[in-house]
Structure 1
Amino acid sequence: MAIISRLEQIPVNRFHYKLLLLTGFGWLFDAMDTGIIAFVLPVLAKEWGLSATQIGFIGSIGLLGMAVGAVLAGSAADKFGRKAVFAVTLMIYSIATGLCGLAWNYESLLVFRFLVGFGLGGELPVAVTLMAEYSPPASRGRFIVLLESFWAFGWLAAALISYLVIPRFGWQMAFFIGALPALYVFFIRMGVPESIRYLIHKGRQAEALEIVSRIEREAGIEPAAQPVANAKAIVPNSPAQKLAFKELWTAQFAKRTMILWLIWFGIVYSYYGIFTWLPSLMVKQGHTVIKTFEYVLIMTLAQLPGYFSAAYLVDRIGRRSTLAMYLALSAVSAYFFGQGGSAEIVLLWGSLMSFFNLGAWGVVYTYTPELYPTRIRAFGSGWAAAVGRFGGILAPTIVGYMITGPQGFAQVFTMFTGVMMVVAVAVWLFGEETKGKALDEISS
């Protein structure tokens, strides 16, 4: 029996949940470091006298770093391994977050935020690729959406740190706390295995066979006898084959690449445009900083049921239907949120927007690595994420310009409504369905 077949026939067991937790905490720390800047900006704008345009640039520079990191880390992960790149990128963004607390002016903060973004952008596609390559086909969607759900816990941590720490100890302390995840690298080195598909692709069948046998024993399955020589027969490509950008645009992958890039651009544009600015936008609407932090904390809590509902649906009704539905409903919620109103109305539509937008994110991370083969899975996922980051680069800056007008708040959210609705229609019309299929079956 081929090693990959043995891996995919192992039922969900303790190993899969342990891997989910190990990669999930990396995801949580990623979100925490991303979220802290959103809560720091209103305070920093007042202390440093920053303009709306400068605030937008602070948000955008991190996204530029994420775009560069996603491409380089995706390539590195297909060359050097998922585990090593996962650990290195986590170390980079954690240390850089701590350096943000030492920023002495606007320009130095921009440099440090670029480095934070570089590490963050590198980690995300690598972590999801690793989780996707270990998840059983029938449960892969659920596991990836659950992995993405750790993002909500990270934003909750950022909100709590900001609510409890910034008013008492200043914005610098929030960044120093954000450096602590660097210590988590030791847990990654000890507990996260290298990808089986990566090992086989690189000709390291003995290591792959040993890991699969260990997982089988944990699941109560007696490992089958399989000589390493037989395992070599399933190597899909020569280890010497080089990655090529043009392969993403061959007849086999061009449509997939195009729709993924559109999805990523639209969802990143809307998410970072909305949530990077959300505390600042609400302060501009007349809410106090403390009250704003409370409102955003409540909206962030709504992300959790959004993820869990998407995790339930993605392996039942499919990736395409779930993603299109959640994007469309997020668009509707954004429109009504932008109309303002009482605190209760703002919280209702803000929470629904958060619920559906983050649920859609979980499906995107499930869908992306499924559409490429092992040899370019992290590479293709990294490029899709990088294109999305350019959407994130544009959004905070565009919001900074739009918000200065008399109807700026409503116009900003009308714009995001249109973007998300266009992507929802594109997914419904042109997206492929990958529910329940083995990775090699989808990408071949």
Structure 2
Amino acid sequence: MSNILNSLPRESLTERLDRLPFTRRHRSLLAGSGVGWALDAFDVGLISFVIAQLSVTWKADAASLSWVAAAGFAGMAVGAALGGILADKLGRKQVFVLTLLLYGVATGASALAWSVGILLLLRFIVGLGLGAELPVVATLVSEFAPRRIRGRVVVLLEGFWAIGWLGAAVVGYLVIPASPDGWRLALLIGMLPAVWAVFVRLRMPESVRFLQSKGRHAEAESIVVQFEASAGIVSDVSGAVGAVDPTQGSLHAVVPEQRSRLADLFSGEWRRRSILIWLVWFLVNFSYYGAFIWLPTLLVGAGFPLVKSFEFTLIITLAQLPGYAASAYLVEKWGRRITLSTFLIGSAVSAVAFGFGAVNGSEAQIIGFGMLLSFFNLGAWGALYAITPELYPTRLRGSGTGAAAGFGRIASIAAPLLVPPLLGLGGPILLFVVFGIVFVLAAGVAFALPELGGKKLPE
């Protein structure tokens, strides 16, 4: 009998999750993860406004301030890689909470900085928490989302980034210009994630796939039953490992604990996927952070007053919301690969148009092309976060997503540092033409990725 049981499919719990409708429990998970995601975006977006004010109040030069941005991204690179590894060892939920606390407290401490050097150090610590949190949450939500709408749910999660960045733009516009120390108050507001972490810890479930991979079958069963109950499904199960579920006709199989190594990302069938997705992450990070971290400062350099540049940035940020909405629809309609490539091509065209508009255009052209860049670029981010966790099995999903994000952060370190010399060589036109070329390269690499929409996550 035991041989028969062991020969049956091992994925009954995940199959039951995959065929559920989108329930109240899914909405709660998405909202809880999404608010944390929005607070991350708030922190990252806020530093662009802080840099713009410090260039005026501290009289700091662009090169010094570029290192402040780069330090945060250096922390994100390290944090993303470590966070993914820890998520595969300790659990998605635990790492999510710890990272929220780390970067929330460090952001508040940044408000007390008295020099560029101290701010640089604190931004590195902020980056550690921020970098670890994003891929871990994307992995968690991907593992719970029903299969037929998994991509759409992950893009909706990424859509909270627009809400957070918009919040940063509002604070940047209303709070930072109000006084020379407005940036300090803005960073204190960034401590909110530390408070949110306590709430998250009490309410969020751990990944069923992670629990199964660690042999914690009773906990995994309990969570699945809760999600089924939310859909009005009553499961008649004994709770014993290996028991047949009469209502589902499947087996609660014994899944041995699976150990992962980072080197496994480049073994067998995962090698090609890892190389391609790492390249896409690198190229997208380079153009996105190179453009948007410096956007308020670039507008100030173009002759606009500080408040006016913040106002333009706020309006441009609004276009992120429809960009995510379009991407959320298209990832299931067109597929992940086509959606990602299309939005990256749109980003390339918009970047070049914005570069020419920033030099020769009217205010309407600057805002219009900036909104197009925002629309396409953030839609691409949504599709990228949807496709990345789908590429790897459970034992490597956190590590694979985190490693790709961590490698991408290397580009986000380099981009802010390269902006000042590129501006010196050819102004905004050269800068945004470079960004456009990089977006085109990213689109080409993205098109070579496998299409996994609607398919079961690899186990």
Same-fold call, TM cutoff 0.5: yes
Instruction: Report the equivalent of 1:316.
Output: 333
Distance 1:359 1:408, change over 3 A: same
Residue 127 of structure 2 corresponds to residue 117 of structure 1: yes
Q: Supply the AA of the counterpart residue of 2:56.
A: K
The alpha carbon displacement at 1:47 in A equals 1.8
The CA distance in 2 between the partners of 1:19 and 1:383, in whole Å, is 24
Deviations 1:232-263 (A, max 9, x none): 96455x42x43212211112101100110011
Residue 237 of structure 2 corresponds to residue 220 of structure 1: no
Q: 8 Å contact 2:65–2:116 — kept in the other structure?
A: no
Q: Secondary structure at the match of 2:241?
A: helix
The CA distance in 2 between the partners of 1:249 and 1:160, in whole Å, is 43
Equivalence map 1:37-436=2 (5 Å): 37-169=47-179, 170-230=182-242, 234-236=253-255, 238-239=256-257, 241-340=258-357, 341-405=361-425, 407-428=426-447, 430-436=448-454
Deviations 1:385-442 (A, max 9, x none): 000000101100001221223x3211110000000001101222x11101101112xx
2:14 to 4, 10, 14: 4
The CA distance in 2 between the partners of 1:364 and 1:224, in whole Å, is 39
Q: Supply the AA of the counterpart residue of 1:195.
A: S
The CA distance in 1 between the partners of 2:401 and 2:225, in whole Å, is 28
The CA distance in 2 between the partners of 1:244 and 1:15, in whole Å, is 32
The CA distance in 2 between the partners of 1:76 and 1:12, in whole Å, is 28
Q: 8 Å contact 1:146–1:308 — kept in the other structure?
A: yes
The CA distance in 2 between the partners of 1:32 and 1:105, in whole Å, is 22
Q: 8 Å contact 1:53–1:401 — kept in the other structure?
A: no
Q: Secondary structure at the match of 2:94?
A: helix
Q: Secondary structure at the match of 1:229?
A: coil
The CA distance in 1 between the partners of 2:241 and 2:123, in whole Å, is 48
Deviations 1:9-55 (A, max 9, x none): 21111111111100000000000011110011111012222222112
The CA distance in 1 between the partners of 2:401 and 2:52, in whole Å, is 33
Deviations 1:63-105 (A, max 9, x none): 1000100011111111111111000101111111111110010
Q: 8 Å contact 1:52–1:401 — kept in the other structure?
A: no
Q: Which runs of 5+ in 1 are unaligned?
A: none
Equivalences, count = 437
Q: Supply the AA of the counterpart residue of 1:423.
A: A
The CA distance in 2 between the partners of 1:297 and 1:214, in whole Å, is 41
CA root-mean-square deviation: 1.3
Residue 449 of structure 2 corresponds to residue 439 of structure 1: no
Q: Which runs of 5+ in 2 are unaligned?
A: 1-10, 244-250
Q: Supply the AA of the counterpart residue of 2:222.
A: E
Q: 8 Å contact 1:201–1:235 — kept in the other structure?
A: no
Q: Supply the AA of the counterpart residue of 1:370.
A: E
The alpha carbon displacement at 1:226 in A equals 4.9
| Structure 1 segments of 4+ aligned residues over 6 angstroms from their partners | none
Q: Supply the AA of the counterpart residue of 1:359.
A: G
Q: Supply the AA of the counterpart residue of 1:377.
A: R
Q: Secondary structure at the match of 2:424?
A: coil
More moved, 51-60 vs 33-42: 51-60
Q: 8 Å contact 1:55–1:400 — kept in the other structure?
A: no
The CA distance in 2 between the partners of 1:219 and 1:334, in whole Å, is 44
Q: Supply the AA of the counterpart residue of 1:386.
A: G
More moved, 147-156 vs 182-191: 182-191
The CA distance in 2 between the partners of 1:229 and 1:414, in whole Å, is 58
The CA distance in 2 between the partners of 1:337 and 1:224, in whole Å, is 59
More moved, 345-354 vs 47-56: 47-56
The CA distance in 1 between the partners of 2:444 and 2:193, in whole Å, is 39
More moved, 224-233 vs 162-171: 224-233
Distance 1:328 1:124, change over 3 A: same
Q: 8 Å contact 2:241–2:253 — kept in the other structure?
A: no
Deviations 1:364-392 (A, max 9, x none): 00000000000010001100000000010
Instruction: Report the equivalent of 2:8.
Output: none
The CA distance in 2 between the partners of 1:253 and 1:233, in whole Å, is 27
The CA distance in 2 between the partners of 1:403 and 1:92, in whole Å, is 35
Aligned identity (percent) is 46
